Amino acid sequence: MLYLNGRFCRAEDAMISALDRGCLFGDGVYEVIPVYSRNPFRLDEHLARLDASLAAISLPNPHTPLQWAELVREVIRLQAYDDQSVYLHVTRGNAGERDFPFPAGVAPTVLINPSPLVTPSPEAKAKGVRAISHADFRWLRCDIKSLNLLPTVLLREAAKQQGCAECLMFRDGMLSEGAASNVFVVKQGVIACPPKNHLILPGITYDLVIELARQHGVPMEVRPVTEAEVRNADELWMTSSTREVLAIVELDGQAVGDGCVGPMARQLDQYYQDFKR
Ligand code: PDD
């Protein structure tokens, strides 16, 4: 069961117009909210980021945070499984024609579609995963969680073709983020990650990992990170709502540090696991 435009229905009965601006232009924004034991994790933070994404594309938020929370909780309740990944998107709706400027008087399309939450396997947690890298060829508003995902669709496919789990992106010699994750580096016991700006998505997991590191007195720097630092890191990991904290042990065929999951990745993942339960 999912939610579409005011009603709860089965996926096979959920229909939107072929002229929805989400389809025609990618004119919309989205969220992915992890749900543990039927509790949406960091829901307020996800709804705040949704509101910021909507504001950034001048699409009025169709619901208050309270209304969103009620809809999300109802959709969660309707599923047969406890741990979920709730995909939610809002598009500028069906304008009935293909015209670039915003249409007047068109209701947005709201979709809330849960699926079973797939977190990294025990093996991936224990051994880490491999990644490739590529130039960051996205636009300059990566802070908006936009439906326009073609660049990262292509990069994730390239990663998959090479047996890798993620593609790290660099812009002008600096680390931005993963195709669908934020990236942290460790050198000599100090964690570093790029600051929030228009070049990366302000990750909800990223915020929490920084918060947890600071709470536990782990040295943590939020500052620009160079490509050289990434390639010479002792440890690397990615964070996202579905990947949680996942160590990267090989980048472009080169071992990261000693090629094993490092102690700090393990530690931060443990803080995260303890926090979420
Ligand atoms: N992606 N950066 C990008 C480009 C992302 O797409 C994501 C998440 C993140 C991590 O954000 P968070 O910690 O809030 O999940 C960073 C989601 C999971 C997706 O597109 O499926």
CA–CA gap between residue 96 and residue 237 (Å, rounded): 44
Q: Are 66 and 180 contained in the same domain?
A: no
The answer, yes or no, to whether residue 72 has pLDDT greater than 90, is: yes
Q: Are 211 and 188 contained in the same domain?
A: yes
Q: Which pLDDT value is given to residue 157?
A: 98
Q: By residue range, what is the domain housing residue 156?
A: 122-276
pLDDT band for 188, please (50, 70, 90 cuts). Answer: very high
CA–CA gap between residue 171 and residue 210 (Å, rounded): 23
Q: Pick the last residue of a domain from 116, 140, 157.
A: 116
Quote the tokens at residue 148. 């326009």
pLDDT band for 277, please (50, 70, 90 cuts). Answer: confident
User: Closest by alpha carbon to 129, among 250, 240, 230?
Assistant: 250
Task: Kindly report the number of other CB atoms within 10 A of residue 253's CB atom.
Answer: 9
Mean pLDDT value of segment 203-211: 98
**Which segments of the chain does DSSP mark as H helices, in order?**
21-25, 43-56, 65-77, 122-127, 150-161, 204-215, 227-231, 263-276
Q: Are 84 and 139 contained in the same domain?
A: no
DSSP 233: -
Q: Are 237 and 132 contained in the same domain?
A: yes
Going by alpha carbons, the residue nearest to atom 6 of ligand 1 is 180
Contact by Cβ (8 Å): 131, 156 = no
Contact by Cβ (8 Å): 192, 184 = yes
Ligand 1 contact, 176 CB (< 6 A):
no
Q: Are 31 and 54 contained in the same domain?
A: yes
Contact by Cβ (8 Å): 223, 192 = yes
ipTM over 0.90: yes
Mean pLDDT value of segment 169-198: 98
pLDDT in tens, 88-101: 999 999 999 999 99
Quote the tokens at residue 59. 């699409």
Mean pLDDT value of segment 36-53: 98
Q: Are 262 and 208 contained in the same domain?
A: yes
The answer, yes or no, to whether residue 251 has pLDDT greater than 90, is: yes
Mean pLDDT value of segment 22-47: 98
Long-range (24+ apart) CB contacts under 8 A made by 254-258 are 257/233
Q: Are 47 and 132 contained in the same domain?
A: no
**Exposed / middle / buried, residue 152 (Cβ in 10 Å: 0-12, 13-18, 19+):** buried
Q: What is the CATH number of the domain that holds 88?
A: 3.30.470.10
Q: Pick the last residue of a domain from 83, 116, 149.
A: 116
Domain count, the chain: 2
Q: What 3-state DSSP class applies to 18? A: coil
Mean pLDDT value of segment 219-245: 98
Q: Are 208 and 247 contained in the same domain?
A: yes
276 is catalytic: no
Q: Are 133 and 266 contained in the same domain?
A: yes
Q: What is the CATH number of the domain that holds 235?
A: 3.20.10.10
pLDDT in tens, 107-157: 999 999 999 999 999 999 999 999 999 999 999 999 999 999 999 999 999
Rounded distance from Cα 180 to ligand 1 centre (Å) = 5
Q: What 3-state DSSP class applies to 256? A: coil
Q: Are 98 and 168 contained in the same domain?
A: no
CA–CA gap between residue 255 and residue 184 (Å, rounded): 16
Q: Which pLDDT value is given to residue 272?
A: 98
Task: Kindly report the number of other CB atoms within 10 A of residue 6's CB atom.
Answer: 9
The pTM assigned to this predicted structure is: 0.97
The catalytic residue among 125, 145, 160, 196 is: 145
Mean pLDDT for the chain?
98
Ligand 1 contact, 240 CB (< 6 A):
yes
Q: Are 156 and 269 contained in the same domain?
A: yes
Task: Kindly report the number of other CB atoms within 10 A of residue 76's CB atom.
Answer: 19
CA–CA gap between residue 265 and residue 54 (Å, rounded): 33
Tokens 């229905």 -> residue: 9
CA–CA gap between residue 239 and residue 236 (Å, rounded): 10
For the CA of 207, the closest atom of ligand 1 is: 13
Torsion of CA 122, 123, 127, 131, to 10 degrees: -100
Q: Which pLDDT value is given to residue 38?
A: 98
pLDDT band for 230, please (50, 70, 90 cuts). Answer: very high
Name the percent of the chain lying above pLDDT 90. Answer: 100
Q: Pick the last residue of a domain from 81, 116, 151.
A: 116
Q: Are 140 and 264 contained in the same domain?
A: yes
